[in-house]
Amino acid sequence: MSTETVTIQKLGAQGDGIANGTDGPVYVPFTLPGETVAIARIKSQGTVMSITTPSPDRQEPHCRHFGPDGVNGTCGGCTLQHAGDALYRGFKRQLVIDALKSKGLTPEVGELVVAHPGERRRVTFAARKTEKEMLIGFNQAESHHLVNIEECPISSASLIARLPAIKAIGAALAVNAEAFRITVLETATGLDIAADGLKTLSDQQRRKATETVLSMRGIARVSVNGEILIEPVKPMLDFGGVNVSPPAGSFTQATKPAEEAMAELVLAHVGKAKRVADLFAGTGTFSLRLARIGRVHAVESEDKPLAALDHAARNTQGIKPVSVERRDLFRRPLMTSELKVYDAVVFDPPRAGAEFQCKELARSTVKKIAAVSCNPLTLARDLAILVEGGYRITSVTPIDQFLWTSHVEVVATLEK
């Protein structure tokens, strides 16, 4: 380990400050461009010892767990609480611009749709039971050290108010001192709690956990490793006026405002399309809203989310028909011949993107495409394929859903 003083030149894609070292870039978390900092350095990684010249964009962190001075925060949940709003928002928008530019694309990129504290309805906590207490929080960056949290300004206040109940359920489920994960989703009917990474529960533990849940109010469901342990009431989500009960542990957009912003952009672009394909449809975030416009064909690889979508569509009046298809779009994308019946296509794939599906879309006659992504790099690759196939990018909108992190969502719209 060596000690040296460096000047931060820019923020990297993960939100770390980057300084030019004599032997290449040095990555220094919790720093901002223009700052002069003394660091302890191991290879290309620097740890801040002190800040000689702070940036005017530096701000007080919002949370005690981030670190008292916004440097070397203990909780690994956030990485950018020390960055002022203008710098932070510009950084996220620039991530999208740079990703597109790397593939030779230079469309106009809109301003970031901002996230606010208290909006997160879905949070994944690290959890571990010790001899003294039940710990719930986040792992420190680059470490397995669990920081037990008492507050979390990004999360819904009502969710954080239930931390004692979540800890009690975690304690009832924990088999030993090994770490596991607890994902908490706030739904209209109560908290949906999904524990993963636990060993198989004994009958005694099942009874204890069930009794713990029944002694509480406001818990809709508890599942362990994807299996429902107890469901006092079905957890319900509202997708544009359609009620859906998501399967245990299934993917859900982390904040309602981000979901609504994405849906608004998608619906506005699709317009009055009579037939729409929604690919990587999940539990119907877009499908069930699109069904107010036209007929929808929802394609998803996992059967449980698809069944939830299908059930919601069949039990909702006032929407157009929704057909469903279980299909692995990575291995078996919708072919050009199958796409010719659709006026519009929406796709929202996992981080790996939709490369093979976009190659088929590029050869299709579909008039409008809405691409939703949580990874600007794979989105840029997919958009380049579509542009080469004759599509024109009409808008690109970055959306902040994971506040004070380097993650950014994007909605891009295209026309043939």
Asked whether residue 348 is marked as a ligand-binding residue, the answer is yes
Assigned token pair, 25: 């870039």
User: Looking at the annotation, which residues are catalytic?
Assistant: 374
Please check if 14 is assigned to a binding site.
no
**Which residues, at least 6 apart from 202, have a Cβ–Cβ distance to it below 8 Å?**
none
In single-letter form, the type of residue at position 329 comes to L
44: exposed, middle or buried (C-beta count within 10 Å: 0-12, 13-18, 19+)?
middle
Structure tokens at 36: 């002069």
Task: Calculate the dihedral angle through the C-alpha atoms of 255, 261, 265, 270, rounding to the nearest 10 degrees.
Answer: 60
Q: Whole-angstrom Cα distance, residue 167 to residue 306?
A: 31
d(CA 354, CA 381): 9
Other Cβ atoms less than 10 A from the Cβ of 227: the count is 11
Check the annotation: does 94 bind a ligand: no
Residue 150 annotated in ligand binding: no
Residue in the structure block whose two tokens are 């050290």: 145
Distance CA 271, CA 264 (A): 11
Q: Which residue positions form the known binding site for S-adenosyl-L-methionine?
A: 253, 280, 300, 348
